[in-house]
Amino acid sequence: MTIKVGDRVPDGTLTEFFDTEAGGCSVGPNNFQVADLVKGKTIAVFAVPGAFTPTCSAKHLPGYVESAQALKDKGVDEIWCVAVNDAFVMGAWGREQNTAGRVRMFADGSAHWTRALGLELDLDARGMGVRSQRYSALLQDGVVKQLNIEAPGKFEVSDAATMLSQI
From first to last of the 167 residues of the chain, give the pLDDT tens digit: 799 999 999 999 999 988 877 777 677 788 899 999 999 999 999 999 888 877 767 788 999 999 999 999 999 999 999 999 999 999 999 999 999 999 999 999 999 999 999 998 877 666 666 778 899 999 999 999 999 999 888 899 999 999 999 99
Structural domains in the chain, sorted by start: 8-165 (3.40.30.10)
DSSP 154: -
Sign of CA dihedral 30, 36, 40, 46: positive
pTM of the model: 0.92
**How far from each other are the two terminal CA atoms of the chain, in whole angstroms?**
26
- Print burial letters for 99-138: b (CB count within 10 Å at least 16), e (below 16): beebbbbbbbbebebbbbbebbbeeeeeeeeebbbbbbbb
What are the start-end ranges of the H helices in 1-150? 34-38, 54-55, 61-66, 68-73, 87-97, 112-117
Our answer to whether residue 25 is catalytic in this structure is no
Give CA 91 to chain center in angstroms: 13
Pick the catalytic residue from 3, 14, 51, 56: 56
